[in-house]
Structure formats: structure tokens, C-alpha cells
């Protein structure tokens, strides 16, 4: 990536109202069968166009073809029973009814590869594709078969590696693993979380990223954030090991969060997708606010490694707000880019 401060999003963007209920996380599809297939592709084209019009350098599918960033992937796997549900505590934060692992998990066919090929045909810009990370996957399930979080994570890592290799072959430039669970289970992250992530990227030549945020702007998350105090130092627990890992890029929540920016020093040398857009607020940042966040990050991230980004996905936001935020992101990045280039 030659351009200084290449901009991108964490992943999801709002869906059009004819495809799914707007401003709602994980809302069910409004179409069925062939209409749904066409509808998802049309929505992907729209989302891509909005990203390109906003001037994003690295684009994605806006996650238009999935309902949930974890479950949609798991739905395609063998060994998981979606009828047999149990209520579990997710990320130690909220209860949810989840499917159950009832046998050996496996991927009988590719999950997102056709969607990625479709996106690849629509644009010449670098494309980024998101997959759930192994630890976040196991945290969204009840396990009656392996009876070990670690064992199940290794199985998912192997499956993710198969999918990732096919996404790479389909022309994806950056494969991102979403691991919000990394901000909660620090001991497990250091014991086997990062190791399973490295298994998931084994043998890949494309760039790889891990997205670690404080979650969507839903109530359970904003309530949880209130308990974290005035300084959020969670990243501190996992950065030293991540810095040593084979992952190329780390996507973080930085704007309007209480993460002390100096923690980024701990991952010096990695590319950092600095979240400069708050996804839990409908207030559109000014370009100058975005620029300020990026300037602060530049104290701890070398300019050639800094990639301006959103804190998390923007699915729950009204479309015009999300669009405004994308424009603020690229305008803010441009201010700092000019400063760095002395123009
Ligand atoms: Zn996120």
C-alpha cells in the first residue's frame, strides 16, 4: 500500500431498508430465495459505491451479505445445531440464546468466497474481507462436544484458514479477523488466543489484520464501558504478545474511547488501523476531530503504518450518518496527509 494513511472501515455498513430493517443489529432479511441473492449483491454494489464516493482507499462489502459477523459464518459449518439453543453469557457481558456444538466441526463448502469474488469484480481498489476470529466464535456458542474452549478454537482456526486461503485466491488483499473477545479474556488470549489466530493465517501471503474493539454501540456495551473507569487499559494486557505475532495489522478503537494512546507504543512496528470515528454516536465527527485523533496516534505509530479507520462497524447507524462519517474520515486523513507531506 503506497498511499500514506490509507483509509478503510472496520467492516459493516448500514443495509438498505428493502434488504433488512435499518438501524438494527442482526435484523432478519426482508427477501427470500433468488430475490435475496440479488438483493444482497445490489446492496453490496451500493455500499461499495458509497465507500468509493467517500474516497476510502481500502474498500469492503459493507458486510451486506451477512446478518451477524459471527453466526452467519457458523451457520455454514457442520457440527453445530441451530435448533438446539442454550442461553450463555457472551463476552462476560450479556446473555444470548446461541446454537450448540454437537459434533466435530467442519466446513463442507466455502462460506464467503463467492461474495468476495463478486466484490473483486466490482472494484480495482484494494479489498479487505472480515472473518470472525476463533476466540470470538467459541464465545458465541454452547459446546457439548469438545468441552474445551481451547480445543474448539483450534478446530475453528483450521476452518478459518481454509476459508482465508480461498479468499486470498479470490483476490482479497487484506483478511481481517474480528476478535472483540480479545478485550475480555486476557489470560486465554495470551495462552492460546493469539496462537489460534496465527493458525488461522498460516501460509497466507496477503495482509492479515485483527480487529479488537469495545463492541457496537448497543446498550450492553455502553453499560459495560461505564464500568471500565476513566482509563481503558485492556489493550495493554495483550499488545506485547500481539506485537510478537505474525499478524500484520491491528484495528483498534481510539476515538471517544478512554484508551490511553501511549498504549500503541507496545505494538510499534505493526500497521495500526486507528479508529477515528465513534460508531456509538450519531454525531458526525468534523474532519478536524478525525485529524486530531490521527495526530495523537502518530506519536506512537510510524506514519507509514497508520491506517485511519472506524472504531467498529456502522450497521446500526442511519445511512446518511454513516455516509457523513465516512466523508469525515477521509477528509480528516487528508488534512494529516498534507501535514506529513509538507503541503
Ligand atoms: Zn468492532
- Per DSSP, the chain holds a count of helices (H) and strands (E) of 11, 9
265: its cell numbers: 507504543
Tell me, in angstroms, the distance from the centre of ligand 1 to residue 212's CA: 6
Name the region of 69 (left: φ>0; alpha: ψ -120 to 50; beta: rest): alpha
User: Which residues lie near ion ligand 1 (Cβ < 5 Å)?
Assistant: 213, 312
Whole-prediction pTM: 0.96
pLDDT along the chain (343 residues), means of 10: 90 96 88 96 98 98 93 95 91 88 97 97 98 96 96 98 98 97 95 98 98 87 87 94 98 93 97 96 97 98 98 95 98 98 86
Q: Residue 44's closest CA among 26, 66, 29, 28?
A: 66
Tell me, in angstroms, the distance from the centre of ligand 1 to residue 9's CA: 10
Q: CB count, 10 Å around CB of 273?
A: 30
Tell me, in angstroms, the distance from the centre of ligand 1 to residue 216's CA: 6
Tell me, in angstroms, the distance from the centre of ligand 1 to residue 289's CA: 20
Q: CB count, 10 Å around CB of 164?
A: 23
Tell me, in angstroms, the distance from the centre of ligand 1 to residue 343's CA: 34
pLDDT computed for residue 321 by the predictor: 98
Tell me, in angstroms, the distance from the centre of ligand 1 to residue 217's CA: 9
CB 10 within 8 A of CB 309: yes
Tell me, in angstroms, the distance from the centre of ligand 1 to residue 132's CA: 11
Cβ neighbours for 281, distance < 8 A, ≥ 6 positions apart? 217, 256
Tell me, in angstroms, the distance from the centre of ligand 1 to residue 213's CA: 5
pLDDT computed for residue 152 by the predictor: 98
pLDDT computed for residue 310 by the predictor: 98
- Matching residue, cell 453490496: 44
Amino acid at each position: 500500500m503506497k498511499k500514506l494513511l490509507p483509509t478503510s472501515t472496520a467492516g459493516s455498513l448500514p443495509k438498505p431498508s428493502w434488504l433488512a430493517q435499518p438501524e438494527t443489529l442482526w435484523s432478519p432479511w426482508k427477501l427470500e430465495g433468488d430475490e435475496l441473492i440479488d438483493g444482497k449483491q445490489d446492496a453490496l454494489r451500493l455500499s461499495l459505491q458509497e465507500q468509493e464516493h467517500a474516497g476510502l482507499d481500502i474498500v469492503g462489502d459493507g458486510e451486506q451479505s451477512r446478518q451477524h459477523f459471527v453466526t452467519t459464518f457458523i451457520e455454514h459449518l457442520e457440527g453445530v445445531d441451530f435448533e438446539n439453543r442454550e442461553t450463555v453469557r457472551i463476552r462476560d457481558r450479556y446473555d444470548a440464546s446461541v446454537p450448540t456444538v454437537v459434533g466435530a466441526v467442519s466446513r463442507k463448502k466455502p462460506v464467503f468466497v463467492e461474495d468476495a469474488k463478486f466484490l473483486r469484480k466490482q472494484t480495482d481498489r484494494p479489498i479487505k474481507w472480515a472473518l470472525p476470529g476463533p476466540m470470538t466464535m467459541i464465545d458465541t456458542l454452547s459446546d457439548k462436544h469438545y468441552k474445551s474452549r481451547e480445543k474448539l478454537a483450534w478446530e475453528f482456526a483450521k476452518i478459518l484458514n481454509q476459508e482465508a486461503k480461498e479468499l486470498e485466491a479470490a483476490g482479497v488483499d487484506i483478511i481481517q479477523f474480528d476478535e472483540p473477545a480479545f478485550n475480555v479474556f486476557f489470560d486465554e488470549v495470551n495462552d492460546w488466543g493469539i496462537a489460534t489466530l496465527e493458525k488461522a493465517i498460516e501460509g497466507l501471503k496477503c495482509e492479515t489484520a485483527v480487529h479488537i474493539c469495545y463492541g457496537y454501540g448497543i446498550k450492553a456495551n455502553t453499560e459495560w464501558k461505564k464500568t471500565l473507569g476513566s482509563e481503558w487499559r485492556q489493550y495493554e494486557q495483550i499488545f506485547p504478545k500481539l506485537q510478537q505475532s505474525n499478524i500484520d495489522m491491528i484495528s483498534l478503537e481510539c476515538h471517544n474511547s478512554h484508551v490511553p494512546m501511549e498504549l500503541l507504543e507496545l505494538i510499534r512496528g505493526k500497521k495500526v488501523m486507528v479508529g477515528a470515528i465513534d460508531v456509538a454516536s450519531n454525531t458526525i465527527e468534523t474532519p478536524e476531530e478525525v485529524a486530531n485523533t490521527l495526530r495523537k496516534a502518530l506519536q506512537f505509530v510510524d506514519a507509514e503504518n497508520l491506517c485511519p479507520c472506524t472504531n467498529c462497524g456502522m450497521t446500526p447507524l442511519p445511512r446518511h450518518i454513516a455516509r457523513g462519517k465516512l466523508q469525515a474520515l477521509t477528509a480528516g486523513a487528508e488534512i494529516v496527509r498534507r501535514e506529513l507531506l509538507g503541503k
